[in-house]
Structure 1
Amino acid sequence: MTPDSPRLEDARALVAVLHLLAPALRHIPPGMRDELARLAARWLDAGYTPSDVHAHVLRGLPGAGTPVHRPGGLVRYLLRDVPPRKPGPVPAAEPASELVSAPVRHRLSVRLEGARECAGDGHTQPMLFRGEEGETLCGECRRNQLLPALAR
């Protein structure tokens, strides 16, 4: 973590907009921003873009409804280790002005991952369910389809 990184200013801009990524990151203590910028600069020096770093931080956040009591400590933990960059073309550096205008991608809640919408028409609003691969009806709709056949 050397403060002599050529990307330190870009890293400061990256850290300055973390609060825009998720509500959980709104209360990062101002006193931690220099430390987080030095950690983020290591990622930028390794060839990651600011968008890569933001995506990594978003992936590390807990699911919806889970409070983050120390957002600065969480970001510090997430940026602590820089994984090796996969081989490939190194993208051009993003100017700091693009950091603020970059679209924020929201993750699905952990509870909703793998859920799909029921294709049955017995629901007044969309019904999400988890089923086997290829199933399109929730359990209630499947039972309702089987009842007439069993009554014969």
Structure 2
Amino acid sequence: MEHHSLDPYPIPKDKKPLYINEPWLIDKSLLEYPHHREPDEKEDNIRIYLPMDLNKDAILRRLDNVIGLYGEAREDNEIEFSIDVGMIISQLEIYDQIWFVRHMPKKGEHSREAKKLVAEIVSRLENIPDGGAESFPFELIDELKEEYLSD
């Protein structure tokens, strides 16, 4: 039997966790997780929340892992590559929302931290070797530039 590191103690009142009920966002390199978004309604179900760090280094590390996994963007891997990078973009969006709420920039719809991160993500996406993919990562690069870097 494997022992798991569990914290049975309550979280201090001044330290509230952020729960995001989207387990499909968990990095595939950390865990293979079914893509169920809603808790199972079975009577004996126990819902476990796993920590996932969302910071600049973690997001870039995950992106680098995905890029390393696929190597180049080809027609035969374009959909899977795009889905895996899309998961990381969802993590970026959560990162941006939290930074935005915590620091409320005076102008714009995105946090300064997310804009810096997007610039690095775009740089990495632009360096993916083109093995004949039709739309990925080209369309994503354009969308990210328009959404985060156009102002």
TM-score normalised per structure 2: 0.28
TM-score normalised per structure 1: 0.28
- The structure number with the bigger radius of gyration is 1
